[in-house]
Amino acid sequence: MADLTTGTLGDTLRRNGVSRRGFLKFCTATASMMALPPSMVPVLAAALDNAQRPSVIWLSFQECTGCTESLTRSHTPTLESLIFDHISLDYHHTLQVASGHAAEAAREAAMQASAGKYLLVVDGSIPLGNPGFSTIAGVSNLQILEETAAGAAAVIAMGSCAAFGGLPKADPNPTGAVAVRDIVTDKPVINVSGCPPIPVVITGVLAHYLTFGTLPELDQYSRPKAFYGTSIHDRCYRRPFYDKGLFANTFDDEGAKKGWCLYKLGCKGPMTYNACATVKWNEGTSWPVESGHGCLGCSQPDFWDAGGFYNALSIPVGDISRTASYAVAAGVALGAAAAGINRKTKTEANRQHSTVTVDDLEKTS
């Protein structure tokens, strides 16, 4: 893994015995993944052939390793692996054999060797409440991130924790968790949100970086538009049911069996931007909505605190029924008070009435 020999991706592939048709096939798949039009395949092929081998450092903070799982599980040797074979993953404390000081030494070596050029991938959020909440080799997450980010070309925040603070940040956020973007402000940060994120997204980002030497176009949340450009709702195959007003009301009713829209069961598809509906999960087998469960909105900021998972999106976060009941009680009390004041004003006016006679008709001048 610490092989720092330079070379292009084309070299790597050919060394691995990849034919030109194989390479074209690979480029076709990559273009498809990056949502590039098929006409871009030759451009992609030419660029990838000459792509340089980048160094990657992967840091994990307050996280559950789900992101790493998502990325590495069952995907060897795959498209991702081709890319990953090409990159130099110089530090990943979950995956690497080395540990402790040896591992940290590897990280520092990579940082020095490729200063200003390496990509930094981060999963997990950073606790600001107390540096001791999460440390590696006795060094706080914050310190490691600041040090490592300083020499990075760009930072990829992998997963909703790194991108938005995620689960650790859920109310009341006991560790004072923050996202990478809250710490790293002077470098490009690409958020690859999701809990976990779709693995090909990171491959796509790397492919883009390798191909064009730049970062892909990003949305408002610094997420690659190619994957996060459309909402789950807009790409959902159940969308026609939403439009027709056909909804599942429970998880076992006729509507659910017929595959109707899950909006009423709390699907957060309309406000969630991700590529699940087309890329799907588990080797393209299925995805949450297809398997009968609404989208949780895991690629959106604060999804954990955005009201009940099983409440329709239009339902407010709080207990609106209770609020309304209290308000009715308060309204009746205040209304009675207002009524009392009005009656007093009116009674007083009646009391002050002085009878009008024909002698009073002219105005006092």
Partner 1 sequence: MNTLGPSPHPFEVSATADPGYHNSLPLLHEIAHALRLLRLKGTTTTLDLSAIPFGPGDERLLLECLGRGEVSAKLEALGDSHIWESAYPGVWVIEHRNSCGERIAFQVEITRLPSILETRLEDIEEGLLALQRALANLQTDKSV
Partner 2 sequence: MSKATLERGLNAFREQVDAPVAAFFSSCVSCGICAEACLFYTETGDPKYTPIRKLEPLRRVWEQEYTLVGKLKKVVGLAAPVTDELLQEWQELLYDSCTLCGRCSMVCPVGNDIAYMVRRAREGMVASGNSPKDVQAAAERAVRIGSPMGIKYKALAAQVKHIEADSGLTIPIDVEGADYMPLLSSMEVINFPEYIESLARIFTHAGLSWTLCSEAFEATNTGIQIGSSDIARELVQRIVDGAEKLKVKYVIAPECGHAYTSIRWEGPDLIGKPFPFKVLHILELLDELRASGRIKTENPSHERMTFHDPCSIGRKGGVIDAPRRLMQMVNSNFVEMQDHGKWNWCCGGGGGVSANTEAEALRLKVFKRKKNQIEETGADKLVTACANCRLVIEEGLEEYRVELPIEGLTELVARHLVEDK
Partner 3 sequence: MNESMDFLLWTRGTAFDVAVAIFVVGILIRLFEIISLGRAANLAAPKGSEFLPGMKTILTRTLPEGGTFKRQPLTILAGYLFHIGLLVSLLLFIPHIELFRETFGFGWPGLPNPIVDAAAVLGIVGLLAALWNRLTNPVMKLLSDKEDYLVWVLTFLPLLTGYLAYHRMINPYPLAMGLHILSIELLLVLFPFTKLMHTFTLFLARWYNGAMSGRRGVES
**Phi-psi bin for 327: left (phi > 0), alpha (psi -120 to 50), beta?**
alpha
Distance CA 323, CA 335 (A): 17
Nearest to 118 by CA among 131, 127, 132, 106: 106
Nearest to 206 by CA among 227, 185, 221: 227
Query: Applying CB under 8 A, does 283 fall inside the site for partner 1?
Result: yes
Candidates 25, 52, 338, 340; binder of partner 2 (CB under 8 A) is 338
Query: Applying CB under 8 A, does 361 fall inside the site for partner 2?
Result: yes
Is residue 47 within 8 A of residue 211, CB to CB? The reply is yes
Among the listed ranges 92-100, 103-111, 241-249, 332-340, the one in contact with partner 1 (CB under 8 A) is 241-249
> Shortest gap between Cβ of 334 and partner 2 (angstroms)?
9
Point out which residues bind partner 3 (CB under 8 A): 164, 179, 181-182, 219-221, 231, 234, 242-245, 247, 263-264, 270-271, 273, 300-302, 305-307, 311-318, 320-321, 323-324, 326-328, 330-332, 334-336, 338-340, 342-343, 346
Among the listed ranges 92-100, 193-201, 252-260, 354-362, the one in contact with partner 2 (CB under 8 A) is 354-362
Q: Which two tokens stand for residue 28?
A: 């076709």
Distance CA 310, CA 268 (A): 9
Nearer to partner 2, 285 or 355 (CB): 355
Query: Applying CB under 8 A, does 32 fall inside the site for partner 1?
Result: yes
Q: What is the DSSP track for 24-36?
A: HHHHHHHHHHTT-
Among the listed ranges 83-91, 103-111, 183-191, 355-363, the one in contact with partner 2 (CB under 8 A) is 355-363
Query: Applying CB under 8 A, does 73 fall inside the site for partner 1?
Result: no
Query: Applying CB under 8 A, does 6 fall inside the site for partner 2?
Result: no
Among the listed ranges 164-172, 177-185, 280-288, 348-356, the one in contact with partner 2 (CB under 8 A) is 348-356
Distance CA 262, CA 8 (A): 47
Give the single-character DSSP code of 91: E
Q: At what angle do helices 199-212 and 79-86 cross, to 10 degrees?
A: 50
> Shortest gap between Cβ of 354 and partner 2 (angstroms)?
6
Nearer to partner 1, 128 or 246 (CB): 246
Residues for the chain: how many in total? 365
Look-up of token digits 């450009």? 229
**Residue 314 interaction partner, one of partner 1, partner 3, partner 2, none, beta carbon < 5-8 Å per kind:** partner 3
Residue 260, amino acid: W
Is residue 63 within 8 A of residue 125, CB to CB? The reply is yes
Query: Applying CB under 8 A, does 40 fall inside the site for partner 1?
Result: no
Q: Which two tokens stand for residue 180?
A: 């990478």
| Contacts to partner 2 by CB under 8 A | 338, 342, 345-346, 349-350, 352-364
- Interface residues toward partner 1, by CB under 8 A: 18-22, 24-26, 28-29, 32-33, 35, 38, 74, 76-79, 82, 235-241, 244, 246, 256-260, 277-279, 283-286, 290-292
